[in-house]
Amino acid sequence: MARRLAIAPEFRGDDALTPGGFGHGPLYREVKRRLTASLRDAEWRQGQPLPSEAQLAARYGVSMGTVRKAITELVAERVLVRRQGRGTFVANRDRDYMLDAFFNIVDASGHKEFPQVRLLSFRATQADQKAAHHLGLRERARVFRIENLLSLQDTPVILDRIQVSRAVMPDLNEVDFRARDQTIFGLYQRLHGVTVTRLDEWIRAANADADVARALKLKQGTAVLAIERVAYTYDETPVEFRERYVNTSGHAYLNVLGMKKPSSR
Amino acid sequence: MARRLAIAPEFRGDDALTPGGFGHGPLYREVKRRLTASLRDAEWRQGQPLPSEAQLAARYGVSMGTVRKAITELVAERVLVRRQGRGTFVANRDRDYMLDAFFNIVDASGHKEFPQVRLLSFRATQADQKAAHHLGLRERARVFRIENLLSLQDTPVILDRIQVSRAVMPDLNEVDFRARDQTIFGLYQRLHGVTVTRLDEWIRAANADADVARALKLKQGTAVLAIERVAYTYDETPVEFRERYVNTSGHAYLNVLGMKKPSSR
DNA sequence: TTCGATTTGTTCGTATGTATT
DNA sequence: TAATACATACGAACAAATCGA
């Protein structure tokens, strides 16, 4: 597994990869691992630039092409954003990003817009069974529970019931939460350096119970989408559990599988 | 926009890209366009290998790296499959592919399995309004309508109502359809060289009507997922419209957003 | 079983183009 | 304008998988 090195050891950074010293798999995977670790440890913060590709190549003692390949994968995974002439940046969990990557509710014509948000309740309490299971907590662990009502074109469409571990987000509080000028994931990122990188959404059909019906202005028993969603950060740690109820009379959950763009582009 | 050429013109293939002669954008995009066009025109058929990267590079008069980049995008879009030591192949719409790329129904534990399929009806008739709209046909255009019942672990879970234009698939018939040892998309591919590359799924909650309830062995009015799905081929042409009803009492529609794999890999 | 040819996978290096500051 | 950073394109070498002689 010996590998050639392009840069003499005395010029390589402290993180330089040594021949044979990095376990298994291709070099660019190891570079990717290290980049991810640095992101997890918040060496570079949201919206800020990473060192240039040349600098990273020197730091890890690999060629720029190898760094590029690692970065390319992280860009495909929407962890990083490249901007020609400027640099490579940690993807912001801002409104545009959320809408683009993590929000799938569209109106009848397929149009997506950012919802208006109204906070219904914010409580420090205990996890229910489902949340504990999905978040890897013991039952009745301490969590924040948040209820959010999302409206599209002034019509309530989505009810969110969020549970977040207080151990992971100790400083979360209603004041900051209300005052935020950004998305919830943006708040997680700014407040605790926790970046959501993946969502698993389990979608089922259900009948609106009394609370859901009241919030979404539906008759009790109306069929709604019931989505259980787990948000993960780097290295698969679950961060947030969310139950989402969607009134699909005027909207739909749109999922695109396969080529996102015509391959003729 | 002049570009250097690595291979003397007299050795380049007939498809060679000439300097400045290919319009706009990077070279590898043009290569990708040509590959896609060849796929659309069925120059290479499902499961079969493309020419080697070296041969393609010679044919287009570009470097292997440029061909590689074009192929890499098509692999990411799941149009092609690369196999080290063997070659690059046109992705088969086989069971494994379907399950992996185009099938999102899982059981309570998140496990995915290939469903047992039972054909309920196969008719040559006219498109309804929805299908005509999504397939870009005039209303009452000639289509095949197919009803399929999909079972998981011997329990009916999914009812599919498919509409396909007879203009696009003239030779489709119940005998071939029943006799197929492959997926429906595999049949489209083998019979008419039509490769499905993208699905748009519009997911809503609905109450099971009498027919759906009978097929899925539910009480009428039970909340089910109602999915409207349009299948597209290369260059965005809609191919098939499908209405899918899912009993989510024991299963769920699982959607993963963001990083598919831990970035530490 | 071994060996060689073929093909993709990885890594490096270099040069040039394009966008930003 | 100059410097910097990413984007594209080329070429070379070797590794790893595959297949057939």
Cβ of A175 under 8 Å from any chain B Cβ?
no
Which residues of chain B make contact with A206, given a CB cutoff of 8 A?
A: 205, 223
Statement: the CB of A16 is under 7 Å from strand C: no
Q: What is the per-residue pLDDT for B192? A: 84
Statement: the CB of B69 is under 7 Å from strand C: no
Q: What is the DSSP letter of A218?
A: -
Q: Are the Cβ atoms of A262 and B236 closer than 8 angstroms?
A: yes
Task: Show which of residues 203-232 on chain B sit within 8 Å of chain A, judged by CB atoms.
Answer: 203-207, 223-225, 228
Q: What is the per-residue pLDDT for A263? A: 39
CB B85 within 8 A of CB B43: no
- CA A135 to CA B134: how far, in whole Å? 40
B232-B189-B125 Cα angle (round to 5): 70
Cα-based distances in Å from A262 to A78, A102, B235: 20, 21, 5
Cβ of A23 under 8 Å from any chain B Cβ?
no
Q: What is the DSSP letter of A139?
A: T
Q: What is the per-residue pLDDT for B263? A: 39
- CA A135 to CA A164: how far, in whole Å? 8
Statement: the CB of A53 is under 7 Å from strand D: yes
Q: What token pair was written down for A192?
A: 């605790």
pLDDT digits (tens, 9 = 90+) for A59-70: 999 999 999 999
Residue B27 DSSP SS3:
helix
Q: Which of B101, B223, B263 sits opposite A77 (nearest CB)?
A: B263
A5 pLDDT above the threshold of 50: no
Look at residues B235, B164, B241 and name the one whose alpha carbon lies nearest to residue B197. Answer: B235
Mean pLDDT of A142-151: 97
CA of B178 to C1' of C19 (A): 57
A80 pLDDT above the threshold of 50: yes
Q: Which residues of A234-244 are buried (b: 16+ CB within 10 A; e: fewer)?
A: beeebbbbbbb
Q: Which residues of B91-107 are buried (b: 16+ CB within 10 A; e: fewer)?
A: bbbbeebbbebbbbbbe
- CA B55 to CA B69: how far, in whole Å? 15
Statement: the CB of B9 is under 7 Å from strand C: no
CA of B84 to C1' of D16 (A): 8
Statement: the CB of A86 is under 7 Å from strand C: yes
Statement: the CB of A66 is under 7 Å from strand D: no
CA of B257 to C1' of C7 (A): 34
**Closest chain B CA to residue A70:** B263
**Closest chain A CA to residue B202:** A254
**In tens digits, what is the pLDDT along chain B, a chain of 265 residues?**
333 333 344 444 556 665 444 457 899 999 999 999 999 888 998 899 999 999 999 999 999 999 999 999 999 999 999 999 999 999 999 998 999 899 999 999 999 999 999 999 999 999 999 999 999 999 899 999 999 999 999 999 999 999 999 999 999 999 999 999 889 999 998 888 888 999 999 999 999 999 999 999 999 999 999 999 999 998 789 999 999 999 999 999 999 998 775 433 3
Confidence class of residue A15 from pLDDT cuts 50, 70 and 90?
low
CA of B182 to C1' of D20 (A): 31
CA distance A57 to chain B (A): 19
Mean pLDDT of A204-216: 98
Q: Which of B32, B77, B223 sits opposite A206 (nearest CB)?
A: B223
pLDDT digits (tens, 9 = 90+) for A118-127: 999 999 999 9
Which residues of chain B make contact with A224, given a CB cutoff of 8 A?
A: 205, 223
Cβ of A167 under 8 Å from any chain B Cβ?
no
A19 pLDDT above the threshold of 90: no
Taking C1' of D17 and every protein CA, the nearest residue is B85
Q: Which of B102, B255, B264 sits opposite A36 (nearest CB)?
A: B264
Q: Which of A223, A236, A264 sits opposite B262 (nearest CB)?
A: A236
Q: Please report, rounded to a whole number, the percentage of residues in chain A having pLDDT higher than 70.
A: 89
Q: What is the DSSP letter of B141?
A: -
Q: Which of B199, B207, B257 sits opposite A223 (nearest CB)?
A: B207
Q: What is the per-residue pLDDT for A188? A: 92
**A118: alpha, beta or left? (left if phi > 0; alpha if psi -120 to 50):** beta
pTM: 0.90
CB B166 within 8 A of CB B138: no
Q: Are the Cβ atoms of A262 and B32 closer than 8 angstroms?
A: no
Task: Show which of residues 58-77 on chain A sit within 8 Å of chain B, judged by CB atoms.
Answer: 73-74, 76-77
**Closest chain B CA to residue A106:** B202
Cα B119 vs. chain centroid, distance in angstroms?
21
Cβ of B175 under 8 Å from any chain A Cβ?
no
Statement: the CB of B4 is under 7 Å from strand D: yes
Q: Which residue segments constitute the domains of chain A, with CATH numbers given?
A: 9-90 (1.10.10.10), 95-253 (3.40.1410.10)
